Amino acid sequence: MANFFESGFTVLQELAREKRTMDAMKELQEWVGNNHTELADWAKEAENYTAMFENKEISEDEYKELMGDLKHSKAISDAADDLAVRSKANEMLDNIIIAAGCVL
């Protein structure tokens, strides 16, 4: 009788573990399938700088420098997006490993 309950408990544990694994996998697939939005609207900044230059609020070389900075900002946004995806992927992999009951 004790063995019967023990084996039943083991089956339930196994089912719960499989469900957790499937949830983590689903979350992972949804994340990978997503398109990551831009973290900042640099085009709008460019419009602002152009308006400032036209209104003579900034000089020409200041304007050129600010426009050049937008290229650096774009590179920062791209690297930030990459890092966000990589961090999330790592986190989800950790969740999958935990859900699968693996001990590293």
Partner 1 sequence: MKRLIVLFLAVMTMSGCATVTQVLDYFDMARFDNNEYLLAVQIRTQANLGARKCGTPDVNREVSLLWNHSLAFKNYAESIPNNEETVTMSSELLEIVRGLDQRYNVDKKEVSMGYCTSKFGLIEKNATIITNVVGAKPR
Question: Which residues make up the interface to partner 1 (CB under 8 A)?
Answer: 18, 21, 25, 28-29, 32, 39-40, 45, 48-49, 52, 57-59, 62, 65-66, 68-69, 72-73, 75-77, 79-80, 82-84, 86-87, 89-94, 96-97, 100-102
Select 16 or 75, whichever has its Cβ closest to partner 1: 75
DSSP state of 36: P
DSSP state of 55: T
In the complex, least distance from residue 1 CB atom to partner 1, rounded to whole angstroms: 29
Select 6 or 82, whichever has its Cβ closest to partner 1: 82
Select 6 or 62, whichever has its Cβ closest to partner 1: 62
Select 3 or 81, whichever has its Cβ closest to partner 1: 81
Rounded distance between C-alpha atoms, residue 62 and residue 52, angstroms: 10
Helix (H) or strand (E) holding 98: helix 60-99
Rounded distance between C-alpha atoms, residue 53 and residue 64, angstroms: 10
